[in-house]
Amino acid sequence: MDSYLNGHRVLVALDCIIFGFDGKSLKLLLIKRNFEPEVGKWSLMGGFLEENEALQSAASRILFTLTGLHNNYLEQLQTFGAVDRDPVERTISVVYYALVTIDDQDPVTLQAHNASWIDLADKPALIFDHDQMVETALRQLRYKAAMYPIGFELLPEKFTVPQLHKLYEAIYGVQLDRRNFSRKVIATELLRGTGEKDETSLTKKGQLYALNTEKYQAYLNGYATFMPELAELAKP
Amino acid sequence: MDSYLNGHRVLVALDCIIFGFDGKSLKLLLIKRNFEPEVGKWSLMGGFLEENEALQSAASRILFTLTGLHNNYLEQLQTFGAVDRDPVERTISVVYYALVTIDDQDPVTLQAHNASWIDLADKPALIFDHDQMVETALRQLRYKAAMYPIGFELLPEKFTVPQLHKLYEAIYGVQLDRRNFSRKVIATELLRGTGEKDETSLTKKGQLYALNTEKYQAYLNGYATFMPELAELAKP
DNA sequence: TTGTATTGTGTAAATTTTACACTATATATT
DNA sequence: AATATATAGTGTAAAATTTACACAATACAA
């Protein structure tokens, strides 16, 4: 068998939801389009699947193009396939979401693509079905960040427990008791004390921790659930 | 803008994991292929996306073709996009999973496709990346069935609590305390007593319940989490 | 030195989960 | 008809977890 005859072949788009955290709120990397179609409107970063390119590689390429970053957390979310989702031509879009550290960005690359970090709360309306993609991605992030400690992917290498606490409040949009949260995180044994303190603080300086990478891998492989009670917040 | 020039267009396959429950164990509807490629081997039911057809509609069509059923629980799982996943031609496959009641099947349609219900524990090796699809689907089913009461989609209209209990044990592959499970399910208010009893039982006949559809909708919309503690069993 | 903001530790009440004893119903067997 | 066996259904207490909040420690500014 050489090929499937009579098959209908379609253009495969990829769109990427890029999450970041600035210490206060959850952010999205969005682009104000300086190209067709829908020039002037806001959208996710996207592209098309190329010949001899795996989906995951294509998503990785698109993320790299915009941010200059490799090896970030990048996971497939879902594929959007309404017939008229793109008025230009029938496409399906395979959507990925990425977690990146905002500081690691190359500002020149960002500016070249007319991209900026937007507070999730201030998100403008996006083109096509991109709003729905963001909604789905946030739900998936909430689920994954409860089951696995992937939130760390949004923080710099060294961080304090209060920073982690603010991150999780931002992800779930709720208040979490600071003291109970701290104890729970410490109990996971995911943190390795560095002995350093957060010198940027204006008040009491918190202890800086780094990720215990072995434990982290164990958690990713299902060794235990990171914060099971948060999974309930990943609902419609 | 009339079309995207220079874009690479690919064949979009769809594959469908169909779960069923026979009262004892979780089953998969698999086909022993009587057509090319990979004739004679086991695989999931699949097909190709057609022109002017939404992904969800295509999945629904494929499910209907095999089972004669409409309006089943059918949810998109993930898209598989390795370059060489199909040796015949480069394709990507959008995978859906369905929950159906085994009794509702049309045996003639099943036989025409050479399809049979196989115990999940006895699953033969499948073609291409279909084994991986099944593994991912089972994980997703475990997650969803913990958060939302979708397990009911696998049971007949009227069922007893012990039947539901056996179903959940089959889904998660663990023993769940019969008595605690029963109380927890009753507490969800998802069950409406019918006053009838399970006459097929050889010993004490259990009370037959039906689903409270309003509550069911509420749970699907995030009103509450069905069985949060089971979510932890949805891990690699 | 005092006031304010934040970090970090202690602890008890409330809730949920877990484990298991016991009763009830139906059929088969003696 | 009595007894044995299997499954359905109810009760309850111990264990574990979650939640709520008191209090102490650190850093800087006024």
Identify the pLDDT of residue B178.
97
Sequence-distant (≥ 6) Cβ neighbours of residue B35 within 8 angstroms: none
Count up the domains in chain B and report the number: 2
Domain annotation covers residue B6: no
Cα–Cα distance measured from residue B172 to residue B30, given in angstroms and rounded to the nearest whole number: 21
User: Which among B2, B56, B228 is the nearest to A231, CB-wise?
Assistant: B228
Identify the pLDDT of residue B147.
95
Q: B157 with B82, same domain?
A: no
Q: Indicate whether B5 pLDDT > 90.
A: no
Q: B163 with B227, same domain?
A: yes
- CB within 7 A of strand D: which residues qualify? A 177, 179-180, 184, 197, 201-205, 228-229; B 160-162, 178-180, 182-183, 186, 201-207
Cβ distance of A81 and B88 shorter than 8 Å: no
Residue with minimal CA–C1' distance to D10 is B179
**Share of residues in chain B with pLDDT > 70 (%):** 100
Residue stretches of chain A with pLDDT short of 50: none
* CA-wise closest residue to B183 among B169, B196, B195, B165: B165
Q: A157 with A141, same domain?
A: no
Residues 158-197 of A with CB under 7 A from strand C: 160-163, 178-180, 182-183, 186
Q: A182 with A214, same domain?
A: yes
Residues in chain A: 236
Identify the pLDDT of residue A140.
97
Identify the pLDDT of residue B106.
83
Domain containing B101: what range? 11-144
- Tell me how far CA of residue A222 lies from CA of A215, B92, B139, B195, B230, in angstroms: 11, 28, 12, 43, 14
Q: A54 with A91, same domain?
A: yes
Burial pattern B150-161, b for ≥16 Cβ within 10 A else e, equals bbbbbbeeebbb
Identify the pLDDT of residue B149.
96
Identify the pLDDT of residue B188.
95
Helix (H, G, I), strand (E, B) or coil at A18: strand
Q: A81 with A155, same domain?
A: no
Average pLDDT of the segment spanning B54-75 = 96
Q: Indicate whether B1 pLDDT > 80.
A: no
Burial pattern B89-99, b for ≥16 Cβ within 10 A else e, equals ebbbbbbbbbb
Q: A130 with A189, same domain?
A: no
- Tell me how far CA of residue B194 lies from CA of B151, B157, B167, in angstroms: 19, 11, 20
Identify the pLDDT of residue B2.
77
Domain annotation covers residue A5: no
The C1' atom of C23 and the CA atom of B179 lie apart, in whole Å, by: 14
Cα–Cα distance measured from residue A71 to residue A199, given in angstroms and rounded to the nearest whole number: 29
Average pLDDT of the segment spanning B138-152 = 97
Domain boundary among B102, B117, B144: B144
Identify the pLDDT of residue B132.
98
Burial pattern B48-81, b for ≥16 Cβ within 10 A else e, equals bbeeebbbbebbbbbbeebbebeebebbbbbbbb
Q: What angle do CA B199, B205, B210 make, to 5 degrees?
A: 75
Which strand D nucleotides have any atom less than 7 A from protein CB atoms?
Answer: 5-12, 17-22, 25-29
Cβ distance of A83 and B52 shorter than 8 Å: yes
User: Which among A54, A94, A231 is the nearest to B231, CB-wise?
Assistant: A231
**pLDDT of B163-221, one tens digit each?**
999 999 999 999 999 999 999 999 999 999 999 999 999 999 999 999 999 999 999 99
Residue B227 burial (C-beta neighbours within 10 Å; 0-12, 13-18, 19+)? buried
- CATH number assigned to the domain comprising residue B120: 3.90.79.10
State how far residue A24 is from chain B, nearest Cα, in angstroms.
27
Cα–Cα distance measured from residue B146 to residue B229, given in angstroms and rounded to the nearest whole number: 7
Average pLDDT of the segment spanning B136-144 = 97
Q: A140 with A168, same domain?
A: no
How confident is residue B3, by pLDDT bands cut at 50, 70 and 90? Answer: confident
- CATH number assigned to the domain comprising residue A194: 1.10.10.10
Residue A215 burial (C-beta neighbours within 10 Å; 0-12, 13-18, 19+)? middle
Domain annotation covers residue A198: yes
Q: A100 with A117, same domain?
A: yes
Identify the pLDDT of residue A236.
79
